[in-house]
Amino acid sequence: MDNLLIILPAFIFTIALLVAIHEYGHFWVARKLNVKVLRFSIGFGTPIYRFNGKKDNTEFVLASIPLGGYVKMLDEREGDVAEDELHRAFNRQSVYSRFAIVFAGPFVNFIFAIFAFWLMFVIGVQGVKPIMGNLESSSIAYQSGLRSGDQIVSVDGDETPTLSAVYEELLEAFLDRKTATLKLSDQRDIVFRFDKVDKSVEPTSLHDIIGLSLELPVEDVIISEVTPDSPAQKAGIKTGDQITAIDGRVINHWRELVASVIKRPGHTVEIEVLRDGQHQLLSTTIGSAKKGSQTIGRIGVRPESVSPLPKSMYAIHQYGIFAAIPKGFEKTWDLSVLTLKMLGRIVIGEASIKNISGPITIAEVAGQSAKRGIESFLRFLAIVSLSLGVINLLPIPMLDGGHLLFYLVEMVKGSPVSDTVQEIGLKIGVTLLVMLMSIALYNDFTRLLE
């Protein structure tokens, strides 16, 4: 219930804000080009609040279903237009004016994303420093030359003061299956090669494949609770036991235990415990559980205590007011390109359609990011805004990009696209959007039920 009280307002605020920004782009340019705007609506369905503006008596509406919005302009194709207002009808404008009005919606989504990223960098994003702990010998990190104690300071020339920044920079190289150069604090260069990673491997597996591991303070893992009928209980683990190793790998912190278990569901392992001053080897098969679309390992134990990480392990990814401006542009560009690449991979079958998310997943992420703090929520708003911008620019009829495609054709051939072609395009666009929403909702409900 507490989560719902955060998720629902965060979701409504996110969608209403980003829809308002998108539609305001259409509205503002239409007004500047002297096109009469009849209605500006945030949401669909029954109006819950409305008022009329002074100019043109434009009706501003807040509707009950906050999953979209629209700007309705004077248009002869949608009703009769008075003779003295024909020059203000949308359909009477030049193709360049119509293009500008339609393009303005996605454009302001990108502008807002730049602003949100700028503000996020000015506030600063806190994260753990990318100082390596024990690395598995099978991981890309170890095989590339990274060792315990190494600190990553940049990836391909971009500063990475936090571990999350490292993963963000590595994602593009992973998607393109190319190399990435990591600069370490001792000025050594380490090259990660993703060209040999199978293209069917999803981006959600990035963490496991790379295998970066934090250097953690030593803290005994004392078990305070063993879940009945769990793999841990079947192995003979008891309350008060100290887990010291798994398959010979020393465990010095609860996070190391979690990392060793979570990625090996179904694996049989040897767990070394310290009990009454004596070391014992116990064997068990790691259980499995669903976390979103992933299957993770669990053994069914809880620690006696887990101390928060020391402040010395944290860094702030932050820039000054002016230095953050190009970073905002850079982040928006990089993530826009990544979005297009992911869509392309889905279309050609190199990525699963399970990566497509709908309103339920957006609501969950909105709530989670809102709980983490303002910088996390700003990042979420920026990503959703630029995603709206990218998707709306796709050349699919019904979307802004479909209209823009028709206008580009009109510019080339000197006359509008025929009504027949537009009607066929509209039917195709509706079909594609219905299919896309169906997949997104199916994925959402599947994640909920897992």
435: number of CA atoms within 13 Å, CB side? 8
pTM of the model: 0.84
**Quick one: fold of 221-308?**
Pdz3 Domain (2.30.42)
Which tens digit of pLDDT belongs to each residue from 199-249?
777 777 788 888 888 888 889 999 999 999 999 999 999 999 999 999 888
The whole-number pLDDT of residue 441 equals 65
Q: Tell whether the model's pLDDT for residue 76 goes beyond 50.
A: yes
Give 395's contacts (C-beta < 8 A, 6+ positions apart): 401, 402, 404, 405
Q: Which positions are catalytic?
A: 23
Topology match between the domains 126-214+309-317 and 221-308: yes
Give 326's contacts (C-beta < 8 A, 6+ positions apart): none
Contacts 24+ apart (CB under 8 A), 267-271: 267/297, 270/246, 271/235, 271/237, 271/243, 271/245, 271/246, 271/299
The whole-number pLDDT of residue 296 equals 84
337 burial class (0-12, 13-18, 19+ CB within 10 angstroms)?
middle
pLDDT category at 2 given cuts 50, 70, 90 is very low
- Read off the pLDDT of each residue in 180-192 and give the average, rounded to a whole number: 95
- The domain spans of the chain are 126-214+309-317, 221-308
Least trusted range by pLDDT, from 39-48, 349-358, 388-397: 349-358
Q: Tell whether the model's pLDDT for residue 446 goes beyond 50.
A: yes
CATH architecture of the domain 126-214+309-317 equals: Roll (2.30)
Of the two residues 292 and 121, the one the predictor is more confident about is 121
Q: What is the 3-state secondary structure (H, E, C) of 90-129?
A: HHHCCHHHHHHHHHHHHHHHHHHHHHHHHHHHHHCEEEEC
Distance from the Cα of residue 323 to its chain's centroid: 24
Percent of the chain residues topping a pLDDT of 70: 92
Distance CA 55, CA 93 (A): 20
Mean pLDDT of all residues in the chain? 87
275 burial class (0-12, 13-18, 19+ CB within 10 angstroms)?
middle
The whole-number pLDDT of residue 141 equals 92
Of the two residues 112 and 205, the one the predictor is more confident about is 112
Decide if 89 contacts 355 (C-beta within 8 A). Answer: no
The whole-number pLDDT of residue 1 equals 46
Decide if 160 contacts 130 (C-beta within 8 A). Answer: yes
* Four-residue CA torsion sign, 128, 134, 140, 146: positive
Which tens digit of pLDDT belongs to each residue from 331-341?
999 989 888 88
Token pair listed for 168 = 């963000």
Distance CA 150, CA 348 (A): 38
The whole-number pLDDT of residue 450 equals 54
